[in-house]
Each structure stands twice: as C-alpha cells, then as structure tokens.
Amino acid sequence: MRTGLGVFGALVLLIGAVFAGQGLGLIPGSVMTGDIKWFWIGSVMVVVGLVFGYFGFMRRPKRV
C-alpha cells in the first residue's frame, strides 16, 4: 500500500514537472507551451506529488 502511494506520488510529481515546464515555455510542442496557467497547475501537482511521496516512501510504518 505504501509503495503504491509512493509510486503514485512520483508519477504525479513527474507529470506536474512537465506541465510546469510547458507552462514556462521550456518544453515546446504543445498547446500548453507558454501558458502560465499550466505552470501553476504543474506546480500544485509537484507539491501534491511530494506529499504523496513522503507518506509513501519516507514515513516509517507504525509499530503495533
């Protein structure tokens, strides 16, 4: 379960980074290129991906 959460977080982070790069115009070839709205959407996705990755990979499971 935790590994799946971490992998999901990594995917969201990578997709968010691509969106942010396209929004800033660093990655050309899309309708998102140069549209600052996609930078902000991508930035939020990167933060969400980091949170999921933290809870998936970094936190230790509770001992019972």
Residue with tokens 């977080």: 9
What is the per-residue burial (b if ≥16 Cβ within 10 Å, else e) of 43-53?
A: eebbeebeebb
pLDDT tops 70 at residue 20: yes
pLDDT band per the 50, 70, 90 thresholds, residue 2: confident
Q: Please report, to the nearest 10 degrees, the dihedral formed by the alpha carbons of residues 33, 37, 39, 44 taken in order.
A: -150
- pTM equals 0.84
**Residue-level pLDDT at 13:** 97
**Residue-level pLDDT at 61:** 67
Domain boundaries, the chain: 2-58
